[in-house]
Amino acid sequence: MIKPVLVFGYGNLSRGDDALGPLVLEYIEEHAKHVLPSVDILCDFQLQIEHALDLENRELVLFVDASVACESAFDFAELTPVRDKSYTTHAMSPAAVLAVYQDIKKQVPPPCFLLSIKGEKFELGEGLSVNAGQHLAEACQFVGELLSTLDSRKWRQNCVSV
Amino acid sequence: MYEHLETAENRDSLKRVVVDPVSRVEGHGKVTLLLDENNKIQQARLHIVEFRGFERFIQGRPYWELPVLVQRLCGICPVSHHLAAAKAIDQLVGVDPDNLPVSADKLRRLLHFGQVMQSHALHFFHLSSPDLLFGFESEINKRSIIAVLGEYPDIGVQGVKLRKYGQEVIRMVSGKRIHGTGAIAGGMNKALSKAERDYLLEDIDQMITWSKNSVALIKKVHCANLPYYDEFATIRTNYLGLTKPDGALELYHGGIRAKNAEGETLMDHVDYCKYNDYIHEEVRSWTYMKFPYLLSLGQENGWYRVGPLARVNNCDFINTPLAEAVRVEFKAHSNEAMVHSTLAFHWARLIETLHCAESIKELLHDPDIMGGELVAQGEKRYEGIGVIEAPRGTLFHHYQVDENDIVTKANLIVSTTSNNMAMNESVRQVAAEYLSGRELTEPLLNNLEVAIRAYDPCLSCATHAVGKMPLQLELLDADGKLIDKLVKHNNGQIERL
3-state secondary structure of B334: coil
Which residue, of B420, B443, B460, is where some domain finishes? B420
What pLDDT is stored for residue A161 in this prediction?
Answer: 46
In angstroms, the separation between the Cα of residue A148 and the nearest Cα of chain B is 27
Instruction: Find which of B24, B28, B142, B146 to mutate to test the A interface (most A CBs within 10 Å of its CB).
Output: B146
Least confident span in B97-111, B247-261, B410-424: B410-424
Q: Is the pLDDT of residue B65 over 60?
A: yes
| Contacting residues of B for A49, CB less than 8 Å apart | 126, 145-146, 160
Kindly determine whether residue B176 and residue A104, on different chains, have CB atoms separated by under 8 Å.
no
**pLDDT on residue B496:** 67
Give the model confidence (pLDDT) of B163-193 as tens digits: 999 999 999 999 877 778 899 999 999 999 9
Q: In chain A, whose CA is at the least distance from the CA of B200?
A: A1
- Using the predicted structure, report yes or no on whether residue A156 has a pLDDT greater than 90: yes
Is residue B124 in some structural domain? yes
pLDDT of residue B1: 76
* Residue B376 or residue B478, greater confidence: B376
Distance CA B70, CA B386 (A): 13
**Shortest CA distance from A87: residue in chain B:** B146
Residues B479 and B370 in one domain: no
- What is the nearest CA distance from A88 to chain B, expressed in angstroms? 7
- Quick one: pLDDT band at residue B469, thresholds 50, 70, 90? very low
At residue B226, the pLDDT reads 92
Range of A79-93, B29-43, B232-246, B419-433 with top mean pLDDT: B232-246
A104, B178: Cβ pair inside 8 Å?
no
pLDDT of residue B146: 85
pLDDT band for B467, please (50, 70, 90 cuts).
very low
Tell if the CB–CB gap between A50 and B199 is shorter than 8 Å. no
- C-alpha–C-alpha distance, residues B61 and A11, integer Å: 26
Domains and CATH numbers, chain A: 5-156 (3.40.50.1450)
Considering CB atoms only, which of A1, A49, A88 is closest to B160? Answer: A49
Residue B176: list chain A partners with CB under 8 A: 43
Whole-number Cα distances in Å, B2 to A91, B6, B199, B378, B478: 38, 8, 51, 50, 38
Q: Is A123 an 8 Å CB contact of chain B?
A: no
> How close does chain A come to B265, measured CA to CA in Å?
41
**Closest chain A residue by Cα to residue B177:** A44
Question: So what's the pLDDT on residue B359?
Answer: 98
Chain B residues whose CB is inside 8 A of the A50 CB are: 160, 163-164, 167
- ∠ Cα B160 B328 B343 (to 5°): 50
Tell me whether residue B178 is in a domain: yes
Whether residues B402 and B477 share a domain: the answer is: no
Q: Do A87 and B153 touch (CB under 8 A)?
A: no
- Structure-model confidence comparison of residues B100 and A85, the more confident one: B100
Q: Are residues B300 and B398 in the same domain?
A: yes
Whether residue B9 contacts residue B34, with contact meaning beta carbons closer than 8 Å, is answered with no
From the list A50, A100, A103, the residue facing B167 with the nearest CB is A50
- Domain of B484 in residue numbering reads as 472-497
Q: Do residues B91 and B215 both lie within one domain?
A: yes
Report whether pLDDT(B470) > 50: no
Check pLDDT > 70 for residue B121: yes
Q: What is the C-alpha R_g of chain A?
A: 15
Nearest CA in chain A to B156: A104
Q: What is the mean pLDDT of chain B?
A: 89
B53 in contact with A, Cβ within 8 Å? no
How close B144 gets to chain A, by Cα (Å)? 7
Q: B7: distance to nearest CA of chain A, Å?
A: 33
Q: Count Cα neighbours of A52 within 13 Å in the Cβ-side half-sphere.
A: 30
Phi, psi values for residue A21, rounded to 5° = -60, -55
Please state the domain count of chain B.
2
The three-state secondary structure class of B133 is helix
Which B positions 331-370 lie with beta carbon below 8 A of chain A? none
In this structure, the answer to whether residues B486 and B346 fall within a common structural domain is no
Res B145: pLDDT:
87
Torsion angle of C-alpha atoms B102, B104, B109, B112, degrees rounded to 10: -170
Q: Are residues B107 and B195 in the same domain?
A: yes
Return the higher-pLDDT residue of B381 and A105. Answer: B381
The answer to whether residue B49 is domain-embedded is no
**What was the ipTM of the complex prediction?**
0.72
- Tens-place pLDDT, residues A113-143: 999 999 999 988 889 999 999 999 999 999 9
pLDDT, tens digit, for every residue of B26-42?
Answer: 667 788 888 888 888 89
B149 contacts in chain A (CB < 8 Å)? 100, 103-104
B75–A45 C-beta distance less than 8 A: yes
Inside any domain, residue B446 = no
Interface test with A, best of B164, B172, B207 (most A CBs within 10 A): B164
Note if the bond before B78 is cis, omega within 30 degrees. no
Q: Which residues of B touch A103 (CB under 8 A)?
A: 146, 149-150, 153
Whether residues B236 and B330 fall in one domain? yes
CATH of the domain at B118: 1.10.645.10
Reduced to 3 states (helix: H, G, I; strand: E, B; else coil), residue B382 is: coil
Residue B204 counted as domain residue: yes
Tell which A residues from 47 to 76 touch B, by Cβ distance under 8 Å: 49-50, 52-53
Q: Given an 8 Å threshold on Cβ–Cβ distance, is B126 in contact with A52?
A: no
Q: Are B170 and B114 in contact (CB under 8 A)?
A: yes
What is the arrangement of strands in the sheet containing B41-48, beginning at the earlier edge strand? B15-19, B29-35, B41-48
Q: What's residue A151's pLDDT?
A: 94
d(CA B278, CA B453): 28
**Would an 8 Å CB–CB cutoff place A122 in contact with chain B?**
no
Same structural domain, B167 and B312: yes
Q: Which of B156-170, B344-358, B365-379, B466-480 has the lowest mean pLDDT?
A: B466-480
Burial A134-146 (b: 16+ CB within 10 A, else e): ebbeebbebbeeb
Q: Does B446 touch chain A (CB under 8 A)?
A: no
Give the model confidence (pLDDT) of B483-492 as tens digits.
666 565 545 5
- Work out whether strand B304-305 and strand B187-188 pair parallel, antiparallel, or are unpaired: unpaired
How does residue B49 score in pLDDT terms, banded at 50, 70 and 90? Answer: low
Contact at CB, A53 and B150, closer than 8 angstroms: no
Structural domain includes residue B494: yes
The answer to the question of residue B28 being in a domain is no
B380 and B493 belong to one structural domain: no
Burial class (CB in 10 A: 0-12, 13-18, 19+), B195: exposed
Whole-number Å distance between alpha carbons of B258 and B338 = 12
| Residue B466, pLDDT score | 37
CA distance B48 to chain A (A): 19
For residue A50, give how far its alpha carbon lies from the nearest alpha carbon of chain B (Å).
6
Which pLDDT belongs to residue B468?
40
Regarding whether B189 and B129 lie in a shared domain, the answer is yes
Would the CB atoms of B176 and A88 count as touching at under 8 Å?
no
Cβ <8 Å between B160 and A88? no
Specify the range with the lowest mean pLDDT, choosing from B37-46, B283-292, B466-475. B466-475
Q: Chain A contact for B175, CB < 8 A?
A: no
Domain end call among B385, B420, B455? B420
Of the ranges B22-31, B54-63, B254-263, which one carries the lowest mean pLDDT score? B22-31
Cβ <8 Å between B178 and A1: no
Last residue of a domain, one of B380, B401, B420: B420
Q: Do both B357 and B483 map to the same domain?
A: no
Confidence of residue A162 (pLDDT cuts 50, 70, 90): very low
pLDDT band at residue B290 using 50, 70 and 90 as cut-offs: confident
- Looking at mean pLDDT, say which of B6-15, B139-148, B230-239, B277-286 comes out highest: B230-239
| Domain co-membership, B395 together with B482 | no
Is B144 inside a domain boundary? yes
Segment B129-155 shows an average pLDDT of 89
Whether B463 has a pLDDT exceeding 70, the answer reads: no
Is the pLDDT assigned to residue B360 strictly greater than 70? Answer: yes
Whether residue B108 has pLDDT greater than 90: yes
Size of interface A-B (CB pairs under 8 A): 35
Give the pLDDT score at A60.
Answer: 97
